[in-house]
Structure 1
Amino acid sequence: MRYLFLSDLHLEAERPDITRAFLRCLDERAPACAAVYILGDFFEAWLGDDDPNPLGDQVAAALARLADTGVEIYFMHGNRDFLLGKGFCNKARATLLPDPSRVTLNGEPVLLMHGDSLCVDDVAYMKMRRWLRNPVSVAVLNALPLSTRHRIGRKLRSESQTRTRMKASDITDVNQQAVEAVMRRHGVRTLIHGHTHRPAVHELQIEGKAAQRIVLGDWDRQGWVLEVDQDGYRLESFELNGNGT
């Protein structure tokens, strides 16, 4: 079977080129797959399923059409869209996965994550993440008026951009010990994640055996997908305008 993985599209109305590329990906790549996995930061910001969002409706409808053909759709929260809930997933006919999730691909156990929980050297971010991902905090945020959520969302995005510019690149990347620990804990030799915007395939050793960490790319200057089938793992980039790979 073939599986398709992507993350960090950061869909927003201001980048229609990314939306068009994603919809083209659904038309051209996804129909041949058993499942599509979207590993977080699908949207640049998601402030609740009750927030009127024409782009969200458009994308959900496209995913639902794909699901109607028999392709399974899976979604995992990222740090930008952790308020996305059952409302969107029902529209998109998608299944919400916990982070991390252990799945089986062509007989091999594989660990899926968004990736931000591996950036343990960024102490300030990890503290904020623990608060934002707490179910009580999520419930409180969802109960706030939309105008308040929009104001908080703008503030968090601005602060995040400022902090990222000021931090050393190794602080905002994953911690190798954290990677190895989570892979050992879940008994896998392949980890797939996004978040860091550093697409690559990293070879490593887990308990003396060859292993790999595959990092999905962000959709900005180009699109990125990971295709998995019986022949292995292929991390590919392509032009957003569809004129090349």
Structure 2
Amino acid sequence: MTRLDPIQLEVGNLVIADLHLAVEDASSVDSFVRWLETLEGVSRLLILGDLFDYWVGMSQARYAGTEEALAALARCVARGTGIDVLLGNRDFLLDAGFERRTGCRVHTEAILGQTPDATRVLFLHGDELCTLDRRYQLLRRVLRSWPVRFVAPRLPGLANLAARHLRRVSEKDLERKPADEVRQQRAAAEAFVLRWGADLLVCGHAHRHRDEPLGKARWIVLDAFGGPAGVMEVLPGGALGVSERGPEPGDG
């Protein structure tokens, strides 16, 4: 099992997921850029995957939308906000080049955190909980394998075409699959909590908020960014709850 050193979370730290920024269109990232500018004094931001709608490497920086997002992240880090980014199912090729450009830290598997009240929090993207979709889980392992991660940045044109094709196929495939097959499974969530000894599991991917008991633990799924529960915050006292620091209505 991969060893994770817990991140010490502080009051005011924020958690978001599933922005799906369109890399070719600068206007699509404007609301996120404006929101980042409001984070003065926030010591840490966690992004739980799918920051971008797809990512094949730093060759995407030639697109205006990508460059604007990267520059905004770098400015936010320069102002003192540490940004931790989990790989999602759309941007699983984020790598050291992204880290160097932005100052963000990329996490490939999970993030383990501890709140001021000693709650042990496991952060995932959430697609790993869709265990009944066995074909997807196999594809997930292949796409995250070292050969793919090695080749994709070196063949950006081919990787770009492949990423767009996979996105279209995934969207069509999702419509055809039974609902239970693509749903996040409670048993899988319980297994992750047990594996990491967590008191709280927080993830995204489903784009639909949930907050419920999970045995002796608790399970929170964020809305996609811009939704009513799209930003979570470490509140005074140490609990994690819905933040009032979300983007302005209609700006998410």
Both structures adopt the same fold (TM-score exceeding 0.5): yes
1:90-105 correspondence runs (5 A): 90-105=100-115
1:161-180 correspondence runs (5 A): 161-180=171-190
Amino acid at match of 1:47: V
Q: Secondary structure at the match of 1:50?
A: helix
- Given the alignment, which residue of 93, 102, 120 partners 2:131? 120
Runs (4 or more) in structure 1 with deviation over 6 Å come to: 220-223
Q: Does 1:35 align with 2:41?
A: no
Deviations 1:174-228 (A, max 9, x none): 11111101101111111111111122212221xxx3x211111124777821111
Amino acid at match of 2:55: W
Q: Secondary structure at the match of 1:33?
A: coil
Deviations 1:97-147 (A, max 9, x none): 231221222232110111111111101100100100111222122332x22
Give the match for residue 129 of structure 1. Answer: 140
Give the match for residue 110 of structure 1. Answer: 121
Residues 41 and 80, structure 2, Cα contact 8 Å, conserved in 1:
no
List gaps (5 residues or longer) in structure 1: none
Q: Secondary structure at the match of 2:182?
A: coil
Q: Does 1:235 align with 2:225?
A: no
1:190-201 correspondence runs (5 A): 190-201=200-211
1:204-243 correspondence runs (5 A): 204-205=214-215, 209=216, 211-219=217-225, 224-231=230-237, 232-235=239-242, 239-242=248-251
Higher share in strand: 1
State the TM-score, normalizing by the size of structure 2: 0.85
Cα distance in structure 1, aligned partners of 2:227 and 2:202? 21
Cα distance in structure 2, aligned partners of 1:186 and 1:21? 35
Distance of aligned partners of 1:196 and 1:6 in 2 relative to their CA distance in 1, 3 Å threshold: same
Cα distance in structure 1, aligned partners of 2:191 and 2:224? 25
Residues 113 and 192, structure 1, Cα contact 8 Å, conserved in 2:
yes
Cα distance in structure 1, aligned partners of 2:227 and 2:241? 19
What displacement does 1:67 show? 1.4
What displacement does 1:46 show? 0.9
Give the match for residue 31 of structure 2. Answer: 21
State the TM-score, normalizing by the size of structure 1: 0.88
Cα distance in structure 1, aligned partners of 2:167 and 2:226? 17
Moved more, 182-191 or 165-174: 165-174
Q: Secondary structure at the match of 1:139?
A: helix
Amino acid at match of 1:83: L
What displacement does 1:230 show? 2.8
Cα distance in structure 2, aligned partners of 1:67 and 1:39? 17
Q: Secondary structure at the match of 1:84?
A: coil
Distance of aligned partners of 1:170 and 1:62 in 2 relative to their CA distance in 1, 3 Å threshold: same
Give the match for residue 7 of structure 2. Answer: none
Equivalences, count: 237
Cα distance in structure 1, aligned partners of 2:36 and 2:94? 20
Residues 7 and 42, structure 1, Cα contact 8 Å, conserved in 2:
yes
Distance of aligned partners of 1:220 and 1:170 in 2 relative to their CA distance in 1, 3 Å threshold: farther
